Structure 1
Amino acid sequence: MGSQIWLRGLCFLVCIFTCSFFSVSSQTVAGNVSVEGTVFIDGKTSIGKIDKDFICATLDWWPPEKCDYGTCSWDHASLINLDLNSNILLNAIKAFSPLKIRLGGSLQDKVMYDTDDNKEPCKQFVKNTTEMFGFTQGCLPMYRWDELNAFFNKSGAKIIFGLNALAGRSIHSDGSATGAWNYTNAESFISYTVKKNYSIHGWELGNELSGNGVGTRIVANQYAADTISLYKIVQNIYNGAETKPLIIAPGGFFDASWFKEFIDKTGNSVDVITHHIYNLGPGVDEHLVEKILNPSYLDVRLILSETSKIPSRVLQHQQLPGLVRQEGLTTVAGTMYLDQLGMASAYDTKTYCRQSLIGGNYGLLNTTTFVPNPDYYR
């Protein structure tokens, strides 16, 4: 993990030598003339604070049949079929000790949990282009949940689980989802998790349903009411526990008015505010390399400065874009990854979740071999 050690070394040097200077010589690169300058680092002043376990990664639900832009890049990287017996995967997670892992993604709002209250057959996702996100409803068997938790316990990972927030709602042709959240299945799932003594760092409600949403959307006041319901469920089920999992929401794209209303109405019932950004879009752009290496294109401080106005009592985490869907870009992607990590920390983001740990052509680990990609070492 050479690059990671280098980063830690840089922090150490800045702390020791509170004032550092770097001279830059004049040169011409690709027709652009750079001038000599000096960079001053004031090690006495911090511009942001992060959690000790700032780095986070995600595991998704996408089945092998998930294909985009001519490639089917998820293979067996789903929470349902991931090889939990891989020592490479186990050791890759252990190396971060602890690594926050967010379990969720687009299909999480179509997942049922096969607890005692579930009266439907526990069927897996089936490709169907007429369905939202192109797949039917899926199901998490409890034996698989047991297997996942045994693996996470061995790895020392901190788990954030994304709950299905669309249960019980009606989805309309205009893209809106109405009605209150039916939390019965989620409540049963949380109860099962507590009875099995599984450690959960946080319960997150929904995926990309804020603002205009992706696939569908929920208005802020209803989402707030549902988050309060989740808070009450967790308080009740974890009654007497020394520590309780964090209540996390909404896990969607930042919309200033939507987020403001949501935060105002949830009050102290939410611990962590989460938002997603995809600065390079879906990653199919043929000019990705040029954009990644263009400082002005990477400058998304406007988005981050807006989210920094969220009350300081609320933590934040951020999802790295699904940024590389072209072969040969994994090293270049690290340029953006480091830029985003630094920028996010400057705007008081406490945890930064990389989409993904594995799968989708942009994972920290190779989808088939689990061998770390270059970004893993960044």
Structure 2
Amino acid sequence: MENKIVLIFVLAFIPTILGRNATTGTIVVDATTTIAETDENFVCFTLDIWPHDECRWSKLCVWDGHASMLNLDLTLPIMNKAVQAFKSVRIRVGGTLQDKLIYNVGAGFQGTCHPFQATKGSLFDFSVGCLYMERWDDLNNFFNNTGAIVTFGLNALLGKYKTQGIQWEGNWNYSNAEALIQYTVENNYQINSWEFGNPHISYTFINSFWYLDQLGMASMYNTKVYCRQTLIGGFYGVIKSSTLLPTPDYYGALLFHRLMGPRVLKIDNNVSSDLRSYAHCSRGRSGVTLLFINLSNATDFIIDLENNINLSSGKRNASKGQRVKIDSPREEYHLTPKDGLVRSSTVLLNGNPLETTKEGDIPNLIPVYRQSNSSIHIAGWSIAFIVVPHFVAPACN
């Protein structure tokens, strides 16, 4: 008999809870083998390069809060503590204008170092901009102090010329990039990798449905790193530049990073298209962590975890579908919007608002504990991370 571990919801329909329907279904997790594996630092954010006067979006200057890597105040406590909370998170530095950014370093650098200037008719409607090495020093001090793992986007168009449409030809002039890399190595800056480059709901809870669903789905297809545009700035930063407060997406990403390990497990979900479900080996410990996303406001889901292995004795049970009979608790992290409003910019963790301190400290993410053989309740319009530390998963050994 195949040694599979399953999570089973029994098909049923039960009376309404708090005015909503409560429904159960069947989900199977095969924890005997992995279907994909991500990088250890799957969650990633970007620091863009747009200057503060980039105002092309309906005359809205979305970068006027000085939120790019060229002008962001790197001494802000919230910026440092928000990144430090991940312990190690990948930050991609770059964006559209990286192909117009030069570096004032090396014998090959000529001219003076000017910031980007709006130049209508030029590529991306901006002139060439320049990165001072003093700023590069400051950035690397920030990366070192926060433990960030950095991917930096190099200028891939230097030396090339535009022929027609979006076609560029000619040989890449790598001397300026080489000088930057050499300067970086000489100063012992730890850039992990170098790369070439080839609207108003992102601050609210409703966007977390999309974002965490994308993280879960991307991991299933062997995606190694998923970079969110951006850490701060634009319409879509996980830290809002106007308030310097973390958004609901920030806390969702932080939980994903802390709880979901790189090994991805197969999960069959025949419950409802409104209930998204993903399973990973837990990060840094035994067992399995599940991510549930309930897209329905009208339906709650009641979940029973069942297992064909008798976890209390560690021996295989001949009866399939036997309830997990162990006394050890599981951890639950339930994210919901404040006052039930999905456009709220405040997220609740197990009913408590997540708010930074005046000093910019990120709040502790404290789970609730439930017995592993009890049912799981996924409320309407909610997101839940469920950590089952004693769930036997051979694929996670």
TM-score range for the pair, normalised by the shorter chain length? 0.5 to 0.7
> Does the C-alpha gap of structure 1 residues 115 and 19 become closer, same or farther in structure 2, counting only changes over 3 Å?
same
Q: Deviations over 1:95-143 (max 9, x none)?
A: 1110110000000000000003211110000111211111110000000
Structure 1 partner of 2:30 = 42
Give the counterpart of 2:112 among 113, 118, 121. 121
Question: Where do 5+ consecutive residues of structure 1 fail to align?
Answer: 1-16, 209-324
Q: Is the 8 A contact 1:168 1:180 kept in 2?
A: yes
What TM-score, normalized to structure 2?
0.58
User: Residues 274-313 of structure 1 correspond to what in structure 2 (within 5 A)?
Assistant: none
Structure 2 partner of 1:272 = none
Q: Deviations over 1:133-177 (max 9, x none)?
A: 111100000000001111111001011110000000011232210
Relative contact order (alpha carbons < 8 A, sep ≥ 6): 1 or 2 greater?
2
Q: Deviations over 1:203-253 (max 9, x none)?
A: 112x12xxxxxxxxxxxxxxxxxxxxxxxxxxxxxxxxxxxxxxxxxxxxx
Question: Where do 5+ consecutive residues of structure 2 fail to align?
Answer: 253-397
Count of aligned positions: 241
The list of structure 1 runs, each at least 4 consecutive aligned residues, that deviate by more than 6 angstroms after superposition, is 33-36
**Structure with max Cα Rg:** 2
User: Residues 299-338 of structure 1 correspond to what in structure 2 (within 5 A)?
Assistant: 325-327=199-201, 330-338=204-212
> Does the C-alpha gap of structure 1 residues 36 and 153 become closer, same or farther in structure 2, counting only changes over 3 Å?
closer
RMSD between aligned residues: 2.2
What TM-score, normalized to structure 1?
0.60
Q: Are 2:133 and 1:145 equivalent residues in the alignment?
A: no
How big is the shift at 1:34?
11
Structure 1 partner of 2:79 = 89
Q: Is the 8 A contact 1:61 1:108 kept in 2?
A: yes
Q: What is the DSSP-based 3-state SS (H/G/I as helix, E as strand, rest coil) of the residue aligned with 1:330?
A: coil
2:6 maps to a residue whose letter is C
Aligned counterparts of 1:178 and 1:55: Cα–Cα separation in 2: 35
1:354 maps to a residue whose letter is R
Aligned counterparts of 1:362 and 1:355: Cα–Cα separation in 2: 7
Q: Are 2:173 and 1:182 equivalent residues in the alignment?
A: yes
Q: Is the 8 A contact 2:203 2:236 kept in 1?
A: no
Q: Deviations over 1:11-47 (max 9, x none)?
A: xxxxxx932123465599xxxx999632222222322
User: Residues 236-275 of structure 1 correspond to what in structure 2 (within 5 A)?
Assistant: none
Aligned counterparts of 2:203 and 2:142: Cα–Cα separation in 1: 31
Structure ranking higher in helix proportion: 1
1:363 maps to a residue whose letter is G
> Does the C-alpha gap of structure 1 residues 134 and 99 become closer, same or farther in structure 2, counting only changes over 3 Å?
same
How big is the shift at 1:193?
0.6
Aligned counterparts of 1:328 and 1:120: Cα–Cα separation in 2: 40
Structure 2 partner of 1:60 = 48
Percent of paired sites with the same residue = 45
* Mean CA deviation greater in 147-156 or 172-181: 172-181
Q: Is the 8 A contact 1:108 1:162 kept in 2?
A: yes
Structure 1 partner of 2:240 = 366
Structure 1 partner of 2:260 = none
